[in-house]
A = this chain, B = another copy of it.
Amino acid sequence: MSAISQQTIDHRGPDFAAVGLKALNGLKTIFKTEEHVFIYPASGTGAWEAALVNTLSPGDRVLMFETGHFATLWKKLAEKLGIKAEFIEGDWQGGADPDQIEAYLAKDTSHEIKAVCVVHNETSTGSVSPIAAVRKAIDSAKHPALFMVDTISGLASLDYQHDAWGVDVTVSGSQKGLMLPPGLSFNAASAKALNANKTAKLQRSYWDWAEMLGPNQTGYFPYTPATNLLYGLNEAIDMLHEEGLDNVFARHARHGAAARAAVRHWGLEVLCATQGQESGVLTAVKMPDGHSADAFRASTLEHFDISLGNGLSKVADKVFRIGHLGDFNDLMLVATLAGVEMGLKKADVPHEEGGVQAAMQMLA
């Protein structure tokens, strides 16, 4: 926040180049890529749109996987842009299933499907898709579709490897693992994606990669960037490397495990039912039948000043979400879990006391 409130400098002036280059190069270390990362003054939804309009043409077919609410929103967005988006339906209790994707692609012998789009960390359910395995599935199906991944809420919290995992377009944003206010979003693009850009016919201007590449080479942007957020971005990248990305990932993994230990002790159910795919970024919890998750959330906010995430669309009022994201330490997690446990008591939701203690045992 201190970095962000520095004076806004002229985005065409000589001092800006260092800010821009540091951000553009720094992001590569976070996406683990040698490729270009585009930065938009926009929130994550904009980067979803950018990924599609830069690589596809009207009427193109794309395959998506219904991991949850955000996958569904991305699909609707694609449809609004004139893309034929097809869904492999999911139960919102796990990540994307590589086998189903491989089977689906195998049937597309004429290669009409132009892209496979998967959400890495599905914020609405707390499930993580196995990105490397999806890549393998596409390869096994010998399918040439582009592979696009949304890791808006996963980047810089969960391990992510744009290059090693063979992703063509990675979509992300500033307000989760990068610990910034919303207002910046990103596209990391492979050479194959940049090539597709040349023939993609969807209209684009603000999102157009082609206009960005030139000015980006010297650290500049074709239109006014969100300068102050770039200050913050550069600071955030430094902070992540200071802690060490692997340490950051391990910390989130521990917090996820401790949160689940508490939930299970309470006798409640974690929404993600697929072992190994539970998110280290947030834990979605099913509310027992007959209890409103939203009433419970309102009560904990009032009594314990803690804001839990709500259930979205299909699981509205049925789940609440415990975030353990960004600059979060063991004691903050304990405090959060204590707020939930005391809230369950206040709201007369049947549960076994001692979840906090169970989490502490896992953490200690």
Between A44, A77, A183, A301, the greatest number of chain B beta carbons within 10 A of the residue's beta carbon is seen for A183
Task: Point out the residues of chain B lying under 8 angstroms from A203, CB to CB.
Answer: 53, 58, 80-82, 202-203
Report if A68 contacts B (CB, 8 A): no
Q: Which of A21-29, A135-143, A225-233 contacts B (4 or more CB under 8 A)?
A: A225-233
State how many angstroms separate the Cβ of A7 from the closest Cβ of chain B: 8
Nearest B-chain residue to A175, judged by Cβ = B224
Query: Once the chains bind, are A205 and B42 in contact (CB under 8 Å)?
Result: no
Residues from chain B with a CB closer than 8 A to the CB of A330 are: 304, 338-339, 342
Bound-state CA distance A12–B313 (Å) is 13
A202 to B331, CA, bound (A): 50
**Interchain CB contact under 8 A, B80 and A227:** no
User: B80, A204: Cβ atoms under 8 Å?
Assistant: yes
Q: Which of A7-62 contact B (CB under 8 A)?
A: 8-14, 40-46, 49, 53, 58
Query: How distant is the Cα of A4 from the Cα of B42 in the complex, in angstroms?
Result: 17
- Does A364 touch B at the CB level, under 8 Å? yes
Q: Is A244 an interface residue (CB 8 A)?
A: no
Answer whether residue A191 sits at the interface, using C-beta atoms and an 8 A cutoff: no
User: Which residue, A77, A329, A330, A339, has most C-beta atoms of chain B within 10 A?
Assistant: A330
Tell whether A103 is near chain B: CB-to-CB under 8 Å: no
In chain A between 198 and 250, which residues have their CB closer than 8 angstroms to a CB of chain B?
202-206, 208, 222-229
Q: Nearest chain-B residue to A182 (Cβ)?
A: B224
B2 touches A4 (CB 8 A): no
Instruction: Report the count of interface residues on A (CB-CB < 8 A).
Output: 74
CA distance A4 to B222 in the complex (A): 25
For A9, the chain B residues whose CB sits under 8 A away are: 307
8 Å CB contact of A334 from B10, B204, B338: B338
Which residues of chain B are within 8 angstroms of A6 by Cβ–Cβ distance? 2
**Which residues of A75-94 are within 8 A (CB) of B?**
77, 80-82
Contact between B360 and A224, CB atoms less than 8 A apart? no
Which residues of chain B are within 8 angstroms of A338 by Cβ–Cβ distance? 330-331, 334-335, 338, 356, 360
A181 close to B (CB within 8 Å): yes
**B interface footprint on A119-139 (CB within 8 Å = 1, 0 otherwise):** 000000000000000000000
Query: Is A67's CB within 8 Å of the partner chain B?
Result: no
**What residues on B are CB-neighbors of A82 within 8 Å?**
203
Q: Across the interface, which residues of B come within 8 angstroms of A228, CB to CB?
A: 4, 181-183
Contacting residues of chain A (245-294) with chain B, CB-CB under 8 angstroms = none
Contact partners of A161 in chain B: CB under 8 A = none
A97 at the interface (CB under 8 A from B): no
The distance in angstroms between the C-alpha atoms of A48 and B360, with both chains bound, is: 43
Let me know if A341 and B356 touch, CB within 8 A: no
Known contacts A43-B226, A183-B228, A360-B342; decide if A49 and B205 are in contact (CB<8 Å): yes
Q: In this assembly, does A295 line the interface, its C-beta being within 8 Å of a C-beta of chain B?
A: no
Q: Which residues of B contact A331 (CB under 8 A)?
A: 304-306, 335-336, 338-339
Instruction: Judge if A353 is at the interface, Cβ distance under 8 Å.
Output: yes
A284 CA to B260 CA, complexed, in Å: 34
Residues of B within 8 Å of A192, CB to CB, are none
Given A4-B4, A43-B225, 12 more pairs with CB closer than 8 A: A41-B42, A41-B182, A42-B46, A43-B226, A49-B206, A81-B203, A181-B226, A202-B203, A334-B335, A353-B357, A354-B354, A356-B356
